[in-house]
Amino acid sequence: MHNKAERLKKVSAVRRADAAPELAHRVPPGQTVTDRFPILHEGDVPRYDLSSWSLRVFGEVEEERSFSFEELLALPQTKTLCDIHCVTRWSKLDTEWEGVKFTDLLPLLGAKPDAKYVMIHADEDYDTNLPLEDLQREDVLLAHHFDGQPLTDKHGWPLRLIVPHLYFWKSAKWITGIEFMKEDREGFWERNGFHNYADPFKEQRFSSDEYVMPEDEWTKKEFD
């Protein structure tokens, strides 16, 4: 993944993509709308035995704990319809996800009052950081279904985070841990030159203006 980060920082942009006028207010600058679902990941796709899979909650919490997949399914389940925006310049509109709202899970996690940030941990040594405040938006999910079907392995089965208002690298696949933190700490892509917050409408792709993202980066990937 480190090699990919270096490559993405060095490529040149082709041109700024434009959305149809009726969609312009929903599509961030520099994005291209697609009906397909690009698959972007590095390394092997993990596969799980749900009898041994768990979601660990640790860090600035009153007591560390883990949730089995069955325990998460026993919580209130929510469907949400949202637009998603990848830093590689594609946007997919009206995507439907189902899972547990972070706000429904949060009261069970025992976060300490001074926990202001969260690190989401995932397989393949991946992590990504977010302000706790952002995770408390009503459309943020720990999702296990997409478009009415269980997530495929390549899209993050059994559980992925969905944070629609930020670039999609913040919506980590294959999540295995939620770490509460007093202070912010950079995750994988953030340590490798990507923006720490990642607002797509502000084009917060990189931490430095010297880096650019090519318009057609996403077209070279696999699709569903």
Task: Grade residue 183 by pLDDT with cuts at 50, 70 and 90.
Answer: very high
Indicate if the pLDDT at residue 2 is higher than 60.
no
Average pLDDT across the chain, whole number? 88
Do residues 111 and 60 make contact, with C-beta atoms less than 8 angstroms apart? yes
Domains of the chain listed by start with CATH number: 2-43+52-223 (3.90.420.10)
Indicate if the pLDDT at residue 163 is higher than 70.
yes
Q: Give the pair of three-digit tokens for residue 142.
A: 């720990």
Indicate if the pLDDT at residue 216 is higher than 80.
no
**pTM, full prediction:** 0.87
Indicate if the pLDDT at residue 150 is higher than 90.
yes
Task: Grade residue 211 by pLDDT with cuts at 50, 70 and 90.
Answer: confident
3-state secondary structure 32-98: EECCCCEECCCCCCCCCCCCCCEEEEEECECCCEEEEHHHHHCCCCEEEEEEEECCCCEEEEEEEEE
Percent of the chain scoring above 90 in pLDDT: 71
